[in-house]
Amino acid sequence: MASRSAIVFLLGLALAAAGCDRQRPGDGQATAAHNATSPDEVQPTRKSHGAHNAVDRHQRGLAPVDAFFISPDGQRTRIADFRGKPVLLNLWATWCAPCVKELPTLDALAGQLGDKVTVLAVSQDMEPAKVAPFVAARHLTRLKPYTDPEMGLSLGYRINLPTTILFDAKGHEVWRTSGEMDWTSDAARKLIDEAL
């Protein structure tokens, strides 16, 4: 098993190469390194500049990575533990400007969806103690402070932040998207409905 220092080193390299870009706050996403869908597919709008995020369906049907993260009560958990209803997994960090900008709309979406979909916002911060106060200070009442200090999810999926992945009730991936989103938009809701 890789040591924590090796994981931190690898994450540092990944972030240096293509990580969340705090220098371009209007960009709304880390990079466009993933494969986009065809232009005729639904593309939810980002809040900034009315641009679009591409929806990647190339991994449709795959099981989630088998990486552990930490629940708000300190228990090790995995995405597979939430099977039985759809899961919207959002990978974010307190230091990622586009991540922070989209969190209020994700919180609102969680309220709109109720029990129909589990919304998991999993912080990729290496200092998990600061995540719960960060969420509370922003009055995000529906998002729970899940943490992944080993960054098993972002490393397992080899993604930049923010990235959101929708899984169906059987635990299979439906789609993923990278970049800041307005999760309260009609287009975003249409995408979520694909798993219902």
What per-residue confidence (pLDDT) applies to 66? 94
Mean pLDDT of the 92-99 span = 98
pLDDT greater than 90 at residue 103 = yes
What per-residue confidence (pLDDT) applies to 32? 28
Q: β-strands 87-92, 118-123: how paired?
A: parallel
Mean pLDDT of the 182-190 span = 96
Query: How many CB atoms sit inside 10 A of residue 144's CB?
Result: 17
Q: Report percent pLDDT > 90 for the chain.
A: 72
End-to-end CA distance of the chain: 37
φ/ψ of residue 104, rounded to 5: -60, -35
What per-residue confidence (pLDDT) applies to 39? 31
pLDDT greater than 80 at residue 170 = yes
pLDDT interval class at 4 (50, 70, 90):
low
pLDDT greater than 90 at residue 31 = no
How far is 172 from 41, CA to CA, in rounded Å?
A: 20
What per-residue confidence (pLDDT) applies to 7? 52
pLDDT interval class at 41 (50, 70, 90):
very low
pLDDT interval class at 53 (50, 70, 90):
confident
Alpha helices per DSSP H over the chain = 4-18, 97-113, 131-137, 152-157, 186-192
Q: Which of 193, 187, 168 is nearest to 84 (CA)?
A: 168
Would you say 35 and 55 are in contact if contact means Cβ atoms under 8 Å apart? no
Mean pLDDT of the 161-185 span = 97
